[in-house]
Structure 1
Amino acid sequence: MSTADTVSYVGARLFFVTRRIALRRGDVPLTGGPAGVRPPVAGDRMEVRTEGVGTPANLVAGAAPPGTGRPDGSGDV
């Protein structure tokens, strides 16, 4: 999947997100997947392959506490 496969414009989504929370180095904003793919759940492994950079992987954490931008409560709102 690439950004060419998405339904909405990724730049517009990033603009929307960054007006509400501060992204920090290493944050990977995920914008969705192709039809038929279930939403991620705690414990899933997420990999984001970037040509020329590599394929970092992270485990999906539980839901963020209300009013925060991150599972550990450290995000800007």
Structure 2
Amino acid sequence: MRQQQRRDMITQAYMTAVWSRANKLPKLESILAKQEQVTAQPRRKREKTPEQMLEFAKMFQANYEENQK
């Protein structure tokens, strides 16, 4: 559904712009194809340092213990 909403928004923006400068826009199909290609690629996960992972574990444990009271 989210991708369909993006597609609809891009289509609406395209159609709005066509009226003001019809000869300067690329084809809508190429714009949508590029957008779909970008959203189809998986996001790269950030690598975390051991110190960052330890800090997260400490925060998670402290939160868990606080909620157990």
User: Normalized against structure 1, the TM-score is what?
Assistant: 0.23
- The structure with the largest alpha-carbon Rg is 2
Task: Give the structure with the higher percent strand.
Answer: 1
